[in-house]
Amino acid sequence: MEISDARKNSKLIIDGVLYNVEEAEFTKPGKGRSVYRLRLKNLRDGGIIDRTYRSGEKLDEARLDTQDEQYLYREGDQYVFMDIKTFDQHPVPEKLLGIKKNFLKEGMEVVMLMYGDEPIDVTLPITIDLKVIETEISTKTATITPQMKSSILETGYRIDTPSFIKVGDVIKVDTRSGNYVERVSTGK
Amino acid sequence: MVEDEPERLTRLGPNLQRRALIYGYIRDFFREQGFLEVETPIRAPAIAPEPFIIPFQSEDCFLSTSPELHMKRLLAAGYEKIFQFSHCFRKGERGRWHNPEFIMLEWYRTGANYNKIIQDIEQLILTLAIKLGLKNIIKYRGQDIDISLPWPRSTVREAYINAAGWDPVNEHDSLRFDTDFVTRVLPGFKTNRPTVLIDYPAAMASLARLKPDDPIVAERAEVFIGGLELANAYSELIDVKEQEKRFQEAIEQIQRERQQQMPVPDKFLESVARLPECGGVALGIDRLVMLFCDADSIDDVMAFTVDDA
């Protein structure tokens, strides 16, 4: 592919290594040449590198497949998923999951991105509903902006929520940003 | 993204309101100084050949990449102070700071050089900030930018020696010039003040005249605020022979590198003989609006980008 076609989340092979494009930035001094700056994540060790390309340069795009998998359990820093067709199990290292590790509930179905036999990335729903298991007692200080406080969800994820959220409430969380969206239901 | 069109356009409301205010204030600024607002063709048989600006073709014409040539033809006919908001088109330019169709504000005045034009830019942006209630501080992307006048000037030579360790005026390497600019020079600019880069290497003069007492550099200036390249100003080249030679070199380079045939802008060249001493500038309005709206992307200051047109 041409460098001009590289987008965020394009998967590239550079010197035999698989990378995800984390950021693709097009810059161009008004009268000068186009310069593309890619921030790349090594999909095996999570390492980040920056590369600069000029217009017209070619990239080697990785061919990837997707399959439906189920999240089973966590073992140390590995998260184990299972192909729901073949029952093959795939451990995924924690650092590949990034923020997504906070939204995995046992038994939930995800779409796994595969490079050959190797799991590369997990696609989650944009929002997910999670139960609040711990929260601060809200203080009744009068302010103009709504008060936020810290709460802990069933997956162990710590999140800022409005002060009216109580233990047992189920809230909707945006899995891309990790932010609170709304309360889905109240606990007993 | 999950955002649909009505949601996006509603979110952009405050920015589009502010954009319209800025247009009004800019028109006031120029009218108060006796400038005439003009309009020139968006579609024309010849445009300025630029090695790294790719035009869209429209049957036997090109879409404008800048209104410069037509505006100079007006100057050559005796108009002294003119400005224009103009739709410009540049193929392949898309990113946080680019959309292939964008709005350029250009103004020209006779009897002026690039120093006078830099002062115009300073006055215009300070005036806009004051009218928008910001005084001399623009908050952009978490940074307070002090736009008190005058803004610091740096020659291209100083900027490259400090940030990249070489002198582009004495050493010709346009490839390295562009890459180092993006990766070293621009990131090295002071974040709390505008930067005015002046005196480009003669080989990158484009349509600027060479400095009379130091002809290895051109009287060309670029203005940067908050990492945004906002404006490109010249003491305009009025030497027909030199202009013809530069066009010819650009046309040959374009033929070599992109295999595109570009016509010589004959009507413009004829007018250069009558062109008085003058200065002018092209300022990217979308980026100026980004700055005043604290917008991270050009997508947040235009209702419809190329991706949702």
Strands lying side by side in the sheet with B61-63: B43-44, B61-63, B57-58
* Angle at the Cα of A179 from the Cα atoms of B3 and A142, rounded to 5 degrees: 110
Is A179 part of the contact surface with chain B (CB cutoff 8 Å)?
A: no
Predicted local distance difference test score (pLDDT) of residue B94: 92
Q: How far is CA A22 from the centre of its chain?
A: 11
DSSP A54-114: ETT-B--BPP-EEEEEEEEEEETTEEEEEETTT--EEEEEHHHHGGGGGG--TT-EEEEEE
Predicted local distance difference test score (pLDDT) of residue A119: 87
Are B97 and A35 in contact (CB < 8 Å)? no
Closest CA to B71 of B280, B217, B245, B284: B280
pLDDT tens digits for range B271-307: 999 999 999 999 999 999 999 999 999 999 999 999 9
A129's enclosing H/E stretch is: strand A127-135
Predicted local distance difference test score (pLDDT) of residue B133: 96
Predicted local distance difference test score (pLDDT) of residue A146: 64
> Which residue did the predictor score with more confidence, A163 or B44?
B44
* Angle at the Cα of B186 from the Cα atoms of A31 and A10, rounded to 5 degrees: 80
Length of chain B: 309
Task: Count chain A–chain B contacts defined by CB atoms under 8 A.
Answer: 57
Q: In Å, how far is A181's CA from the nearest CA of chain B?
A: 13
- Take residue B129 and report the two structure tokens written for it: 């900030």
In this complex, the residue of B2, B98, B182 whose CB is nearest that of residue A37 is: B182
DSSP three-state, residue A4: helix
Predicted local distance difference test score (pLDDT) of residue A143: 56
Asked if A59 and A2 count as a contact pair (C-beta separation under 8 A), the reply is yes
Q: Is the peptide bond before B150 cis (omega within 30 degrees of 0)?
A: yes
d(CA B114, CA B101): 27
Is A9 part of the contact surface with chain B (CB cutoff 8 Å)?
A: no
d(CA B147, CA B288): 13
Q: In Å, how far is B94's CA from the nearest CA of chain A?
A: 7
Predicted local distance difference test score (pLDDT) of residue A145: 60
The CB-side HSE value for B46 (13 A sphere, CA atoms) comes to 13
Predicted local distance difference test score (pLDDT) of residue A43: 85
In this complex, the residue of A26, A31, A37 whose CB is nearest that of residue B52 is: A31
Is B234 part of the contact surface with chain A (CB cutoff 8 Å)?
A: no
In this complex, the residue of A28, A32, A55 whose CB is nearest that of residue B98 is: A28
Work out the pLDDT band at A120, boundaries 50, 70, 90: confident
- Take residue A7 and report the two structure tokens written for it: 């987008």
d(CA B258, CA B52): 9
d(CA B246, CA A174): 55
Closest CA to B50 of B298, B270, B247: B247
* Residue B150 phi, psi (nearest 5): -85, 160
Predicted local distance difference test score (pLDDT) of residue B3: 82
Contacts of A55 in chain B (CB under 8 A): 92
Q: What is this model's ipTM?
A: 0.84
Predicted local distance difference test score (pLDDT) of residue A54: 87
Asked if A163 and A170 count as a contact pair (C-beta separation under 8 A), the reply is no
Contacts of A128 in chain B (CB under 8 A): none
Are A126 and B93 in contact (CB < 8 Å)? no
Are A26 and B174 in contact (CB < 8 Å)? no
Work out the pLDDT band at A5, boundaries 50, 70, 90: confident
Work out the pLDDT band at A172, boundaries 50, 70, 90: very high
Is A95 part of the contact surface with chain B (CB cutoff 8 Å)?
A: no
Work out the pLDDT band at A141, boundaries 50, 70, 90: low
Predicted local distance difference test score (pLDDT) of residue A116: 86
d(CA B10, CA B14): 8
Name residues of chain B where pLDDT drops below 50: 1
Q: Specify the pTM.
A: 0.81
d(CA B309, CA B304): 5
